[in-house]
Amino acid sequence: MANIYGDSPLIDSVKKYIYNVMTSKALAARTRDYVSVVSLGQSELKCEANEMPTPPQNVNVIMPIDVSSATYLQQIDSFLTIGENSADPLDDVIEYAITAMDTFCKHLKFKKSIKIFTDGNRPISSHAFDLFSSRLATSDIQLSLFLPEDADAYPQFTSLSGANIVNIHDAIAYLDVASIRSKAIRRMALADLTLGPPEYSEDLTNLRISVFLYPFTKTTKPPTATRYTVCPLPDVFKDQPGPQPVPTAKPGRFLEPVSSSVQYYIKKKDYPKDEPVDESIPCELRPDLVEVDSDSIAPGYRLGDSIIPMESRYKDLLEISTPVAIEIIAFVAKNELPRHFLMGEVRYVVPARNGTGKNLYVTEFDASAMVQLAAALISTDSVAIVRSVLTKNKSPKLACVFVPSSSTLEELPPHLMHCDLPHYNDFASFPFPDFSDILRTSSDSLKAKAKKFLPSTDLQTAMDNYVSAATIPQDSDYYDSLDPVALANPYIFRLQQAAMFRALNPDKDEDDLLTHVHAGSPPGFSNRYFPPDTPQTRTVVETLKRHADLKVNTKFAKTAYEQDIEANSGDLPSIDDLLND
């Protein structure tokens, strides 16, 4: 099969299509709808070449996980290696996709859609056809089959009412849609899986099935889109067909160094945003662009569908979004974890040996906090609830970390799954001072305002005990190897939650605050997520407190959470209903 989109194979074109279509359908106005999205994003396998057993590279492994099932981690492992060992994986995925819709969306107002991208050569069994036929008859699912121009449609699907046969060239037309640049975007529920050999070969024998769900409400509206062009592109990309360069919010992988024989222009940093510019005039005459020396150009960055040359000094602003630290909040037994907790974006990660980059990984993998965390999860058969600190451009997220069932204590480095909680932003936040600077402020008025956020001695002692209840077991050999850069201090997150509770509940007295802290129920959580205080759970926190930076992140913006929550709830279930499901 020939390439469809420039020099990109079909598999890449489909990925771009999915991204653009899903972002164009994103909800712009509703905060609570985000809770209702079953979202499993692109997995990221991080490892050094030839240093460990390598699952298929560059394969998106996305699937809903039912944590109540004893085999849910085995399902992940089998999907990582699917292809040669599976006689008919397409049927299995179709059946699992429909089952997942029933499992996770039975109480939610979802418009359900299954999109299959195929070369038209892989058979679909009568069993899968019967599944589609029965569901389409109930108007419950929309089916779209994307085929290349020279392929024949599956004859059995043409007879189904509700099935949509689409020419792949028509689908690729969506690629020219301007990328969405709106902070209000909510990630869509997207699940896609590459079947067949792990290599992306030129004959394009792979099949990708995309299963995605998205909220469908009366208030659904697309966000606004903006595009602008940075000219010219490097020589190697000049003649490729496709859309003009459009910066997007999500950086991609680095490219080869840009050509030194081309002049480059970037947006002036101080140019007024509301000043109109005629983009048809040459770059050297545009008032909003400034020429940069090719020697100062870092390697080109792929932003969405674009190649944008950037100055070296801007490199730190465009770091790939990988976690730089995690704060352990608590451990939860697998059989007690609400199943919708594992419905967020999933990354398949292992600690890197070289320790380069700001990410979850540490310098010495065999003496790292990651190994310690994996050992604790394996020995206690539990899942860690964590707070992921992303790049400096991103807000912290709540997530859970668990170990695939195939990993063992003897395996180095361990394999971990990092999964964003679907309601990671669903808690009230407000600006609060850095505790370490409260007593050093020069202004008496500021000191008085800041002091009300400072926990009392009793409350701080309660926080110490509370945090110690959310740590890994004592019988471990890794206590002295904690790296505070890779594993941030959970003590601070607990203090932040206590400060939030105090600010949002000014009428509560000290006893109520202490009861709240001891009970382990900060705003947005249930008591069952936090284990009781035990002597076996304190050593690691003491190590963290000795080595980690105790500064509090002050960059929390106050939201209209309380005012907006009831007005926008609509027919969707409340967060409490979901948490108690």
Q: Report phi then psi at 128, rounded to 5.
A: -65, -40
Report d(CA 377, CA 375) in Å as an integer.
6
Q: Report phi then psi at 401, rounded to 5.
A: -125, 130
The answer to whether 143 and 162 have CB atoms below 8 angstroms apart is yes
Q: What is the pTM of this model?
A: 0.25
Q: What is the 3-state secondary structure (H, E, C) of 482-549?
A: CCCCCECCHHHHHHHHHHHHHHHCCCCCHHHHHHHHHHCCCCCCCHHHCCCCCHHHCHHHHHHHHHCC
Domain ranges, ordered by start, for the chain: 10-215, 235-318, 325-558
Q: In what order do the strands lie in the sheet with 301-303?
A: 251-254, 301-303, 306-308
pLDDT digit string, tens, across residues 125-164: 666 677 667 766 665 566 666 665 555 656 666 666 666 6
Report d(CA 114, CA 148) in Å as an integer.
18
- 79-88 burial, b at 16+ Cβ within 10 Å, e below that, comes to bbebbeebee
The answer to whether 164 and 145 have CB atoms below 8 angstroms apart is yes
Report d(CA 535, CA 35) in Å as an integer.
36
Q: What is the 3-state secondary structure (H, E, C) of 146-211?
A: EECCCCCCCHHHHCCCCEEEEEHHHHHHHHHCCCECCCCCCCCCCEEEEECCCCCCCCCCCEEEEE
End-to-end Cα spacing for the chain: 47
Report d(CA 245, CA 67) in Å as an integer.
42
pLDDT digit string, tens, across residues 414-466: 566 777 765 444 332 222 333 444 444 445 665 565 555 454 555 455 444 43
Measuring CA to CA, which residue among 460, 429, 398, 544 is closest to residue 35? Answer: 398
Its sign, for the CA torsion 407, 413, 417, 421, is: positive
Q: In what order do the strands lie in the sheet with 325-333?
A: 325-333, 382-389, 397-402, 416-420, 346-349
Tokens of 355: 């320790």
Q: Is 355 exposed, middle or buried (0-12, 13-18, 19+ CB in 10 A)?
A: middle
Report d(CA 147, CA 208) in Å as an integer.
11
Tokens of 124: 């679909």
pLDDT tens for the chain, 581 residues long, are: 222 223 334 444 444 443 333 333 332 222 222 211 122 222 222 223 222 222 222 222 222 222 233 333 343 334 333 333 333 444 555 555 565 555 544 444 444 556 555 555 555 666 667 766 776 666 556 666 666 555 565 666 666 666 666 665 444 333 222 222 222 222 222 222 222 333 332 322 222 333 322 222 222 222 222 222 222 223 333 333 333 333 332 332 222 333 444 455 666 767 777 777 776 677 667 787 777 655 554 433 332 222 333 334 333 433 333 344 555 666 677 766 655 555 555 565 544 433 343 333 333 433 345 566 676 677 777 777 766 654 444 555 677 777 766 556 565 555 667 777 654 443 322 223 334 444 444 456 655 655 554 545 554 554 444 334 333 333 334 333 322 222 233 333 444 344 444 444 445 544 444 444 333 333 333 222 233 333 333 433 343 333 333 222 222 222 333 333 334 334 434 434 433 44
